[in-house]
Structure 1
Amino acid sequence: MKARLACADSFDLHFQRERGRLRFKALVCGLLTAAAIGCAALPTRAQDKAAKNAPVETVAPEEKPAPYDDRLARLSEIMGAVHYLRNLCVAGGEPEWRDAIQKLIDSETANEPKRKARMIAAYNRGYRSFASVYTTCTPAAATAEENYRNEGATLAVEIASRFGN
Structure 2
Amino acid sequence: MRIAIACFAAVLVLSGPARAAAPSEGAPPPYDGDLMRLAEILGALHYLRPLCGAAGEAQKWRNEMQGFIDTEQPSDTRRAKIIASFNRGYSSYAEVYRTCTPAARFAVDRQLEEGSRLAHDIVVRYGGN
Fold match (TM-score > 0.5): yes
Partner of 2:60: 96
Poorly superposed stretches of 4+, deviation over 2 Å: none
Q: Is residue 120 of structure 1 aligned with residue 58 of structure 2?
A: no
Normalized against structure 1, the TM-score is what? 0.60
Give the drift of 1:93. 4.3
**What are the Cα deviations for residues 5-41 of structure 1, in whole angstroms up to 9, with x where unaligned?**
xxxxxxxxxxxxxxxxxxxxxxxxxxxxxxxxxxxxx
Gaps of 5+ in 1: 1-61
Structure 1 or 2, whichever has the larger Rg, is: 1
Aligned length: 104
Deviating more after overlay: 92-101 vs 136-145: 92-101
Structure 2 residue ranges without an equivalent (≥5):
1-24
Change (3 A) 1:150 1:111: closer
Instruction: Give me the identity figure in percent.
Output: 51
For residue 27 of structure 2, what is the aligned residue in structure 1?
64
Residue number in structure 2 paired with 1:5: none
CA displacement at 1:106 relative to structure 2 = 1.8
AA partner of residue 33 (structure 2): D
Cα 1:164–1:89 shift into 2, 3 Å: same
Query: What amino acid is the match of 1:101?
Result: M
Higher RCO (CA 8 Å, separation ≥ 6 residues): 2
Please tell me the residue identity of whatever aligns with 1:89.
Answer: C
2:119 & 2:43 partners in 1: Cα distance?
14
- TM-score (normalised: structure 2): 0.76
1:158 equivalenced with 2:117 (yes/no): no
User: 2:63 and 2:53 mapped to 1: Cα distance?
Assistant: 17
